[in-house]
Amino acid sequence: MSDSGVGASNAEPGDVPDELAPARIDCIDCGGVAHLLTRPDDTGRFWPGDLLTYRCEDCLDRWDLIIPDGDDQTHAG
């Protein structure tokens, strides 16, 4: 039930699933709700490497996140 077309059933290679470009995230600083300011491209999609900008509705902090490539891996330790 995605409005943006991201993660839809007609997904193509390189599409970013909804969980990597959510409309809202939790603010790390205050626990409030930060809303996505960045809009998808002309195709209605976000892509790996895109910059996502969020603004918290409570403390007004800005969060800039980059959608990881499929090759990006987090290594512990």
Encode pLDDT of 47-74 as tens digits.
999 999 999 999 999 999 999 987 655 5
Structure tokens of 5? 């077309």
Q: What is the mean pLDDT of residues 19-43?
A: 93
Backbone angles phi, psi at 57, to 5 degrees: -75, -15
In the chain, the percentage of residues whose pLDDT exceeds 90 is: 58
Structure tokens of 17? 């699933």
| pLDDT at residue 16 in the model | 58
Asked whether the beta carbons of 5 and 45 are under 8 A apart, the reply is yes
Please say if the pLDDT value at position 8 is more than 50.
Answer: no
d(CA 25, CA 49): 18
Under the banding of pLDDT at 50, 70 and 90, the label for residue 15 is: low
* pTM of this structure: 0.69
Asked whether the beta carbons of 22 and 4 are under 8 A apart, the reply is no
